[in-house]
Amino acid sequence: MPANLTIQYKKAEEEYRRADSPEEELRCLQLMLREIPKHKGTDRLQADLKARISRAKKELAAGKSRGGKRAGLRIPRQGAGRVVLLGGPNAGKSRLLSALTNATPEVAAYPFTTHAPMPGMMPHEDVLVQLIDTPPVTAEHFDPATQSLIRGADLVLLLVDLEDDQGPLLARDVILRLKAGKSRLARDSALDSDDVGLTWTRAFLVFNKCDAEAAELRAELFRECCPVDFDEFRVSAETGAGLDALKQAIFEALDVVRVYTKEPHAKEPDRCQPFTLRRGGTVLDVARLVHKDFARQLKFARVWGGKVHDGTVVKGDHVLEDRDVVELHL
């Protein structure tokens, strides 16, 4: 029997994927259980959710008794979106992180230099995007922390090493290892509506070290041994080749709009730091980002932008466009 999951349920699960604290995970799971349609077709899902809720509660209690130390393991979400760098040993993940962000991970010609996920912020136009370097995934090694980062990511960059003959095979191992689990990669992000917990995260195929000799032959080899339909990029983290195109594509894949807020009576908005919303986001979403009480107190807003007359008065459900200016009235 199909589960016929509702939009509310899918929204709750989407939030669960993005949860970055145990408290938030528990809240989302409870919301999912409340929203799940109650009928025979969802019996298995309901049982699975209850089991996960009790696990989350235990995890939370255990974390508290350790003085909240566990919280340090989580990387808080920052910026316009989260992108996870993934690949086999030596693919150049850490080198790419240092090329695109302010982070300074250890880069070395021997495998397993990176032991823990490391974030960095990538500037693009007037926004910042969070990139996270991860330990290598191999047939034997798959860190559970990496798995949950993949689940919650807006985008994964799967790196293929074009300098080494093993590179394409190691990248194939990453795909196979993920296919054996519940956090998989795909051309587009999606949730599986029948198998609770199975998620697909959008991925780019990033052929790295395109400066190396015979790089193109190894790219061919990868395509033969592991056909995937992800968007493809050719870069060199070392020389910088292809990085601008990759940055632009990353930003577009996040599908966010930038909104600038303006104080009533102020002549100009604050242009330094836009708020970023997923496309389709509304005035209420901006109000929430500015202050947690603003959404409740909002009376109306004025909007300046490409698709409205200057200073148009709108309600909270008004959908904003990229680079709109918003004045919130409480």
Ligand X SMILES: Nc1nc2c(ncn2[C@@H]2O[C@H](COP(=O)(O)OP(=O)(O)O)[C@@H](O)[C@H]2O)c(=O)[nH]1
Rule CB under 6 A: which residues touch ligand X? 87, 89-95, 107-109, 113-114, 136, 163, 208-209, 211-212, 236-238
Amino acid residing at 204: F
CA atoms within 13 A on the CB side of 67: 0
Candidates 69-77, 86-94, 164-172, 216-224: pick the segment binding Mg ion (CB under 5 A). Answer: 86-94
For ligand X, the closer of residues 119 and 136 by Cβ is 136
Residue 45: helix, strand or coil by DSSP?
helix
- Rounded to a whole number of angstroms, the CA Rg of the chain reads 22
In degrees and rounded to multiples of 5, residue 96 shows phi and psi of: -65, -40
7: partner contacted, choices ligand X, Mg ion, none (Cβ within 5-8 A by kind): none
Least distance in angstroms from the C-beta of 72 to ligand X: 22
282: partner contacted, choices ligand X, Mg ion, none (Cβ within 5-8 A by kind): none
Cβ(103)–Cβ(118) below 8 Å? yes
Report the distance separating Cα 83 and Cα 156, nearest Å. 6
Hey, how many other C-beta atoms are within 10 angstroms of the C-beta on 305?
18
Considering CB under 5 A, how many residues would be counted as binding Mg ion? 3
For ligand X, the closer of residues 163 and 285 by Cβ is 163
Report the distance separating Cα 79 and Cα 51, nearest Å. 33
**Start-to-end C-alpha separation, the chain:** 48
Candidates 112-120, 123-131, 273-281, 288-296: pick the segment binding Mg ion (CB under 5 A). Answer: 112-120
For ligand X, the closer of residues 42 and 98 by Cβ is 98
Least distance in angstroms from the C-beta of 133 to Mg ion: 6
Least distance in angstroms from the C-beta of 93 to Mg ion: 5
β-strand partners of 271: none
As a dihedral over the C-alpha atoms of residue 111, residue 100, residue 174, residue 117, rounded to 10 degrees, the angle is: 70
Measured in whole angstroms, the distance separating CA 164 from the mean position of its chain's CA atoms is 29
Report the distance separating Cα 170 and Cα 234, nearest Å. 17
For ligand X, the closer of residues 109 and 180 by Cβ is 109
218: partner contacted, choices ligand X, Mg ion, none (Cβ within 5-8 A by kind): none
236: partner contacted, choices Mg ion, ligand X, none (Cβ within 5-8 A by kind): ligand X
Report the distance separating Cα 155 and Cα 255, nearest Å. 11
**Among 111, 113, 112, 133, which Cα is nearest to 122's?**
133
Told to check if 114 binds Mg ion by CB under 5 A, we report: yes
201: partner contacted, choices Mg ion, ligand X, none (Cβ within 5-8 A by kind): none
Told to check if 94 binds Mg ion by CB under 5 A, we report: yes
Least distance in angstroms from the C-beta of 322 to ligand X: 32
Instruction: Work out the angle at residue 305's Cα, subtended by the Cα atoms of residues 302 and 306, and round it to the nearest 5 degrees.
Output: 145
Least distance in angstroms from the C-beta of 114 to ligand X: 5
172: partner contacted, choices ligand X, Mg ion, none (Cβ within 5-8 A by kind): none
288: partner contacted, choices ligand X, Mg ion, none (Cβ within 5-8 A by kind): none
Least distance in angstroms from the C-beta of 89 to ligand X: 5
Report the distance separating Cα 267 and Cα 28, nearest Å. 41
Least distance in angstroms from the C-beta of 109 to Mg ion: 11
Candidates 26-34, 38-46, 108-116, 276-284: pick the segment binding Mg ion (CB under 5 A). Answer: 108-116
Contact set with Mg ion (CB under 5 A): 94, 113-114
